[in-house]
Amino acid sequence: MSAYLIISLSIFVSAAAVIGAALFIVRGFTNDLTRAESDLANLALALQERTDGALQSIENVLRDVVGRIPQASLKADEFDRFAASNATKATLVGASHSLDQIIRIDLVNAQGRIVGSSNPHLIFDPIYLTDTSYYRALSTDTSLILYLSEPIRIRATGKRVLSLARKIKDTEGNFLGVIVSTIDLSHFERIYEDHLGTRSLAITLYRRDGIILAHSPNAKSAVGHRIWKPNTPLQRMIAKNSPTLIRDVSWIDKKERLVALYPLANYPGGIAVSRTVAELMAGRRLESRLIRFIAYLMDIAIDTVSLLGLKHVRTGILRAASESYLSRHDILTKLPNRLLFTEELKRTFLAAQRSGTDFALLLLDLNRFKDINDNYGHVAGDEIIQVVARRLRERLRRSDFIARIGGDEFAIIQRPIRGRPQITDLIMAIQAAMKVPCTVVNTEIDVGLSIGVAIASSDGKTSTELMRSADIALYAAKSDSNNSYRLYDANMKDSRTERRALEGALKSALENRELELHYQPILDLATNQMWGCEALVRWKHPTKGMIPPLQFIPTAEESGLIGPIGDWILEEACSTAMTWDLPLKVAINLSPVQFKCRDVFASVNKALNISGMPAHRLVLEITESVKLTDEASATLKRLKALGASISLDDFGTGYASMSYLRSFPFDKIKIDQSFVRGMTDSSDSRAIIKATIGLANDLKMSTTAEGVETEEQLNALRLAGASQAQGYLIAKPMPRESIAAFIADVQRAQQNNRDEQSPTRAIA
């Protein structure tokens, strides 16, 4: 028995060690490869920018010359004379000398004849260029302005050159001719040679159709041929014209290469930078042979183990192998996890610094994911995460990197980037993808994302700083209701630091009596009389002025201060209502957190006892975010038994409004302002309002429409059968003294009405 145990244990230990070593090597190799990929991509980007710039400066010279041609006064037959003049000749000579890489500049007339040149040699016989590709293209294609020719070898000098030609038109748009520059391609080859660091590196400048314009180090054999063999992935990728990485066997040296492609920004062509896969693997060849040998031994070991019936040893070995993968990946989405992400971010940061390129870090967070989990269950939540991961991944390039770094948090490294528009383009694409609801467990669920962005070149000196900036931007995006994404800027305050300061100030606000309640009248539509008021809290900050509740209630909730603040609101509102001339209702908002940190029944009871207000005047407003646990339902039922009413606030804005409504016998539904606002021009809003009122009638509940601002809305709501209306049209929320006066007026008006028996409006 003990020998058996020792054998199995020793096999297990050695096997696990071997597996560990093998995985370590494989992982090292994968890391090398990712690093090589991003280095190649970065180099391609850098060279693309330089090449584009070099072509741009030549084009600027041509433009400048064209700018001096008096196109307005020139007819086609006068162009020849103008071009041949001494003044024009001087211009052309000056222009061709302005850049080293320009060998000559010629003016060609509409018939294809050279009529002016920077060339010092005199021309005796007319030279026609009607056979050149640029003349043919520019004289026939009306929409074409610029043409990049295939490369030519000048027999006399052996120089490889290229023509960059621009069309010249008169002011009426007629074709006058062409200005063409002959460019020395060795200029580009010299730029590329500077970068030929490693042995197998190759750099190619190609035209959109695949023709090689410049090649380092094999200019002689490659230039003029196509970079791809027909019908290969390389041909398709070049036709696609977007940056990518691809593996391809080069026809030039017959070697398998990892190729980074980067199209030029302003010219029909691109840069390809490549290294042989063999070189990338070189340092690892010995190791990979070792791995193969080890794997062979392992197979024997596992077979022996299986033969011996030691199943548990076999499972143990396999588990050891998978644990290494698991520690760096997320099982649900198969994406890299936070650990791998942090490493990758560091690597990308260093690589970008080395190559002088830029990248963006995007942090993405699902909105209200907790609500989704609570309402639909964790299975649905998991499915949503997978759907989102898939949609995000589909929007990325191969050079980008994505990880799931938390429950509902993703991170993207967008690399390389060439300016902000590229980032916003990606964000727009992501947001467009998220507009489609996710269908999980047969339900369509809308999922929103908040995105915070930091840019490597400006928003952090280290990867840690960059991460912090992106995080601050994400927080800003989350707290900005109009914007689902934010780019970090140095003025952006860390809202968490701000929140901590707010929390401190809020604590003393209650003691310093800085909180006050305002009251907004609610109109009963059946009787046209005032039904009651909703109490709305405000913070009269000693320096910042009046702070609206949405700016401090969340902080109060997070810090638990909502407990004592909520108690104060209940007592203050009930006491104030007792001072009114009419026994109107008072509606008070309850936060979901109050149900967690307080005995809500006891708090309400205390407020009623202190104020002496009868319970039937009290209405408690809760939103769907109050989880209707058995305990919460019991509390609400006891409050109802006491005589208070319960309203469902902000109806229609939550995830499961309908099922929520049926889970408790509410007395009243408050239709959210967004539907009232949409009423006049959205048939959807009208339909929702109608359906809600119908449903409320069926369930014997009343309805209050919120946010009524126009007569039109009020009339429509009357017609639709709403029970009450609340909004600026009727009255804005007002402080304690004003509401008392307001109610006194209403009371007087009602008195007069009764006295005169005339039905005029009681309030307005």
Q: What residues line the site for ligand C2E (CB under 6 A)?
A: 520, 535-537, 548-550, 553, 569, 589-591, 649-650, 673, 706-709, 726-728, 733
- In the complex, what is the shortest distance from the CB of residue 671 to ligand C2E, in angstroms, rounded to a whole number? 11
User: Is the CB of 375 or the CB of 625 nearer to ligand C2E?
Assistant: 625
Query: What residue type is 41 in one-letter code?
Result: A
User: Is the CB of 234 or the CB of 626 nearer to ligand C2E?
Assistant: 626
Is 620 strand, coil or helix?
A: strand
Work out what residue 537 binds among Ca ion, ligand C2E, none; the CB cut-off runs from 5 to 8 Å by kind.
ligand C2E
Contact 114, 127 (CB under 8 A): yes
Is 624 strand, coil or helix?
A: coil
- In the complex, what is the shortest distance from the CB of residue 416 to ligand C2E, in angstroms, rounded to a whole number? 44
Contact 277, 261 (CB under 8 A): no
Contact 198, 221 (CB under 8 A): no
Nearest to 659 by CA among 374, 368, 408, 370: 374
What does the radius of gyration of the chain's CA atoms come to, in whole angstroms?
A: 38
- In the complex, what is the shortest distance from the CB of residue 729 to ligand C2E, in angstroms, rounded to a whole number? 7
Element spanning 405, H or E: strand 401-406
Work out what residue 385 binds among Ca ion, ligand C2E, none; the CB cut-off runs from 5 to 8 Å by kind.
none
- In the complex, what is the shortest distance from the CB of residue 730 to ligand C2E, in angstroms, rounded to a whole number? 8
User: Is the CB of 445 or the CB of 743 nearer to ligand C2E?
Assistant: 743
User: Is the CB of 139 or the CB of 589 nearer to Ca ion?
Assistant: 589
Distance CA 191, CA 185 (A): 10
- In the complex, what is the shortest distance from the CB of residue 569 to ligand C2E, in angstroms, rounded to a whole number? 5
Q: Is 187 exposed, middle or buried (0-12, 13-18, 19+ CB in 10 A)?
A: middle
Is 482 strand, coil or helix?
A: coil
User: Is the CB of 211 or the CB of 618 nearer to Ca ion?
Assistant: 618
Beta strand pairing status for 102-109 and 202-207? unpaired
User: Is the CB of 567 or the CB of 650 nearer to Ca ion?
Assistant: 650
Contact 259, 247 (CB under 8 A): yes
Query: What sign does the CA torsion over 293, 294, 297, 303 have?
Result: negative
Work out what residue 494 binds among ligand C2E, Ca ion, none; the CB cut-off runs from 5 to 8 Å by kind.
none
Work out what residue 536 binds among ligand C2E, Ca ion, none; the CB cut-off runs from 5 to 8 Å by kind.
ligand C2E
Beta strand pairing status for 358-366 and 449-455? antiparallel
Q: Is 258 exposed, middle or buried (0-12, 13-18, 19+ CB in 10 A)?
A: buried
Work out what residue 151 binds among Ca ion, ligand C2E, none; the CB cut-off runs from 5 to 8 Å by kind.
none
Beta-bridge mates of residue 655: none
- In the complex, what is the shortest distance from the CB of residue 724 to Ca ion, in angstroms, rounded to a whole number? 13
Beta strand pairing status for 515-524 and 724-725? antiparallel
First-to-last alpha carbon distance for the chain, in angstroms, is: 95
Work out what residue 547 binds among ligand C2E, Ca ion, none; the CB cut-off runs from 5 to 8 Å by kind.
none
Token pair 């007087």 is at which residue? 748
* Residues engaged in binding Ca ion (CB under 5 A): 589, 621, 649-650, 706
Work out what residue 728 binds among ligand C2E, Ca ion, none; the CB cut-off runs from 5 to 8 Å by kind.
ligand C2E
Work out what residue 709 binds among ligand C2E, Ca ion, none; the CB cut-off runs from 5 to 8 Å by kind.
ligand C2E
Work out what residue 459 binds among ligand C2E, Ca ion, none; the CB cut-off runs from 5 to 8 Å by kind.
none
Nearest to 591 by CA among 564, 628, 622: 622
User: Is the CB of 217 or the CB of 549 nearer to ligand C2E?
Assistant: 549
Distance CA 238, CA 245 (A): 11
User: Is the CB of 52 or the CB of 706 nearer to Ca ion?
Assistant: 706
- In the complex, what is the shortest distance from the CB of residue 395 to ligand C2E, in angstroms, rounded to a whole number? 35
Contact 553, 591 (CB under 8 A): yes
User: Is the CB of 472 or the CB of 533 nearer to ligand C2E?
Assistant: 533
- In the complex, what is the shortest distance from the CB of residue 502 to ligand C2E, in angstroms, rounded to a whole number? 15
- In the complex, what is the shortest distance from the CB of residue 651 to ligand C2E, in angstroms, rounded to a whole number? 10
- In the complex, what is the shortest distance from the CB of residue 704 to Ca ion, in angstroms, rounded to a whole number? 9
User: Is the CB of 160 or the CB of 499 nearer to ligand C2E?
Assistant: 499
Work out what residue 293 binds among Ca ion, ligand C2E, none; the CB cut-off runs from 5 to 8 Å by kind.
none
Work out what residue 15 binds among ligand C2E, Ca ion, none; the CB cut-off runs from 5 to 8 Å by kind.
none
User: Is the CB of 260 or the CB of 547 nearer to ligand C2E?
Assistant: 547
Q: Which residue is nearest to ligand C2E (CB)?
A: 727
Token pair 């975010």 is at which residue? 625
What is the phi/psi pair of residue 263, to 5°? Answer: -70, 150
User: Is the CB of 357 or the CB of 520 nearer to ligand C2E?
Assistant: 520
Contact 511, 565 (CB under 8 A): no
Contact 372, 438 (CB under 8 A): no
- In the complex, what is the shortest distance from the CB of residue 727 to ligand C2E, in angstroms, rounded to a whole number? 3
- In the complex, what is the shortest distance from the CB of residue 731 to ligand C2E, in angstroms, rounded to a whole number? 9
Cis peptide upstream of residue 217 (ω within 30 degrees of 0): yes
